């Protein structure tokens, strides 16, 4: 009985040991498999971390040049604004100088006297002769004075002629201000119909 019992116990123990060994094998496989999975996740996480770290380094290394570019861009914008303002000032000055040149040119033409075409004391400009009287009086008196000289009060045909006459009168009055007042009559009136202005040649006043 003891031998039989021992054999049975041994068999039982051996069988029991076989079960634990098989479970251990399964457990080891599970552990290895879990380790493989964890290793794979770790490897993936490590790769992702390395990629993120590399990207961060790239961003950090490129931030300085980017900052410089932004500063340069702002400097260029400032310079462009200053140059635009300077250009506008020069353009304004050029416009003023051109206008002044045109006025001086008109004045130069107005004082070019030619005795062959205009009477003594008259000023020639292009094909017209101008005379600034030292007599004072009403518009009617001024027109009568012009007619006695074989002329009439001036008719202004253009803005250029108006500028020219303005200079002509202002310069002449500088020399004859002692003898005449500052008002100068021109050939424009509304005597026929108040509010309707006409030149002495019968044409209506046009404003542009």
Q: What is the pLDDT of residue 195?
A: 83
Does the reported pTM lie above 0.75?
Answer: no
- Cβ atoms of residues 154 and 165 within 8 Å: yes
Question: 41-79 in b/e burial notation, b at 16+ Cβ within 10 A?
Answer: eeeeeeeeeeeeeeeeeeeeeeeeeeeeeeeeeeeeeee
State the pLDDT at residue 8.
40
Measure the CA–CA gap between 129 and 2, rounded to whole angstroms: 162
pLDDT bucket at 193, cuts 50 / 70 / 90: confident
**How do residues 113-161 score in pLDDT, each as one tens digit?**
444 578 888 887 766 788 888 778 888 898 998 899 888 888 887 777 6
Please give the residue that has the higher pLDDT: either 74 or 108. 74
Q: What is the pLDDT of residue 199?
A: 85
From 110, 203, 94, select the one nearest 152 (Cα to Cα): 203
Task: Compare 199 and 2 and report the one with higher pLDDT.
Answer: 199
Q: Residues near 125 by Cβ (< 8 Å), separated by ≥ 6?
A: 106, 109, 110, 112, 164, 168
pLDDT digits (tens, 9 = 90+) for 32-89: 665 555 555 556 666 666 676 676 666 566 555 666 767 777 777 787 788 888 888 8
Per-residue pLDDT, averaged over 14-18, amounts to 44
Query: What is the reported pLDDT for 16?
Result: 43
């Amino acid at each position: 009985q003891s031998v039989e019992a021992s054999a049975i116990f041994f068999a039982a123990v051996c069988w029991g040991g076989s079960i634990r060994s098989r479970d251990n094998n399964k457990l080891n496989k599970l552990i290895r498999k879990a380790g493989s999975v964890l290793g794979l996740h770790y490897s993936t996480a490590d790769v992702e971390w390395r990629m993120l770290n590399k990207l961060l380094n790239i961003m950090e290394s490129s931030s300085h040049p980017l900052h410089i570019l932004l500063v340069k861009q702002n400097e260029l914008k400032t310079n462009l604004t200053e140059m635009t303002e300077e250009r506008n000032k020069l353009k304004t000055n050029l416009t003023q100088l051109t206008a002044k040149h045109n006025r001086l040119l008109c004045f130069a033409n107005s004082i070019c006297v030619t005795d062959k075409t205009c009477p003594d004391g008259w000023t020639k400009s292009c094909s017209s002769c101008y005379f600034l009287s030292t007599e004072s009086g009403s518009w009617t008196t001024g027109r009568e004075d012009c007619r006695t000289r074989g002329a009439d009060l001036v008719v202004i045909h253009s803005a250029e002629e108006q500028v020219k006459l303005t200079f002509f009168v202002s310069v002449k009055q500088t020399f004859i201000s002692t003898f005449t007042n500052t008002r100068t009559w021109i050939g424009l009136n509304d005597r026929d119909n108040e509010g309707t202005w006409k030149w002495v040649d019968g044409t209506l006043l046009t404003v542009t």
